[in-house]
Amino acid sequence: MSKMKPCPFCGSKNYRQMIHDEAYAYFRCMDCNSTSPLGGDLDAALDIWNRRPIENKLDAENKRLKTRIEKLHKIAEENTIGYEAIIESLRSENEKLKEKKGIK
Ligand SMILES: [Zn+2]
């Protein structure tokens, strides 16, 4: 049996398994009184209680965006390091030229 998610309406974990006509189980949140639809056996009732298509889509979108942000951070970091190396190289060349021409 998979882990139960909290109540989709109030977030409570204070719920109870209910039996309807000995054949159908469902869950009731004891804090906000919401119930899942009748789900057949206990596993089916649990699947219905845990089914959150929008939440699953949002989780997938969050994961996709986090991965994209990490990639962009990496690209930005690599480019920053590249520019710093170029600037340092130019400074070094500039110092050499100054020394060569006696400006320093
Ligand atoms: Zn609730």
Which residues does residue 1 pair with via DSSP β-bridges, in sequence order? none
Q: Three-class SS of residue 2?
A: coil
Encode the chain (104 residues) as per-residue pLDDT tens digits: 568 999 989 999 999 999 877 788 999 999 999 999 888 888 888 888 998 888 889 989 999 999 999 999 998 888 887 788 888 889 999 999 988 888 76
CA of 19 to the centre of ligand 1 (A): 18
Q: Which pTM value belongs to this model? A: 0.52
Question: What are the angstrom distances between the C-alpha of 100 and each of 43, 89, 91?
Answer: 82, 16, 14
pLDDT of res. 6:
94
CA angle 74, 79, 83 (to 5 degrees): 150
Question: What are the angstrom distances between the C-alpha of 64 and each of 39, 52, 73?
Answer: 32, 18, 14
CA of 50 to the centre of ligand 1 (A): 13
Contact 32, 49 (CB under 8 A): no
Which sequence spans correspond to the domains of the chain? 1-51, 52-104
For residue 25, the tally of other CB atoms under 10 A from its CB is 21
CA of 60 to the centre of ligand 1 (A): 24
Q: Which residues surround ligand 1, an ion (CB under 5 A)?
A: 7, 9-10, 12, 29, 31-32
